[in-house]
Structure 1
Amino acid sequence: MSKSTARQATVRIEIRCTEEDAALIREKALAAEISVSDL
């Protein structure tokens, strides 16, 4: 039981990290699009 719960916790942490990374990538992409459109 403890092993399965630990795995679930690590998966949740990985999902959080990927979501945060995706948000940062979106912000960078939007900033890049804005800079490109300004040029």
Structure 2
Amino acid sequence: MNFNRTPFFLRTLAIDQIERKLYQLLDILDICISGLDGCY
């Protein structure tokens, strides 16, 4: 994906989506670490 030709708002949306996914993953990992038996 060539970000130089991507409209600014699309770039912002893409970054927002990636950040949300990262935070979701971190949440899941945090839950797994804090309660290993409750890890799905």
What TM-score, normalized by structure 2, do the two folds share? Answer: 0.73
Identity %: 6
Which is bigger in relative contact order (C-alpha 8 A, separation at least 6)?
2
Q: Of the two, which has the highest radius of gyration?
A: 1
Question: What runs of 5+ residues in structure 2 fail to find an aligned partner?
Answer: 1-5
Q: Kindly indicate which of the two structures has a greater share of residues assigned to helix.
A: 1
Question: What runs of 5+ residues in structure 1 fail to find an aligned partner?
Answer: none
Number of equivalenced pairs: 31
RMSD value over aligned CA atoms?
1.4
What stretches of structure 1 move > 4 A for 4+ residues in a row? none
What TM-score, normalized by structure 1, do the two folds share? Answer: 0.75
